[in-house]
Amino acid sequence: MTETRHSLELSEQLCFSLYTAQRLVTAAYRPILDALGLTYSQYVAMLVLWESSPITMGELGERLGLDYGTVTPLVKRLEAAGLITREKRPEDQRSVRLRLTDAGTELRGRAEGVPDTIAEVMALQTEEFTTLKDSLEHLSDNVATRLP
């Protein structure tokens, strides 16, 4: 079996294609999320909370693939915005439970159109969207299993 050698040309780099797509998609989200008063990181955290509130900070970090040191300032900003509350769990004072406030719940209604708006910007057919999402999840899983 012959070993494949990969080119050093920028146009041949998967990492650059991923970087460019991520930068453009994030730019597409920015004005939409600005209208909601959210950053992209806050938006994905709210997606988890809309699905699973109440949830612990550890569970939120796990769902987002973030460490505790990254989740803490994110949660503090959501709390300062009045979207969530933090409370110590009586059974484990080290664990903090996050709960949506009324404002956090109300924001979900205002955010309902975000996925459709972004889908229009991406201009992908349903099958293309599903294939791309599945391929990116597969890539993420492969890389995650090979990291130290």
Please name which of 123, 129, 62 lies closest in space to residue 98, comparing C-alpha atoms: 62
CB neighbour class for 124 (10 Å; exposed up to 12, middle 13-18, buried from 19): middle
Q: What does the pLDDT look like over 111-124, one tens digit per residue?
A: 999 999 999 999 99
Mind listing the pLDDT tens digit for each residue in 92-112? 767 889 999 999 999 999 999
pTM over 0.75? The answer is yes
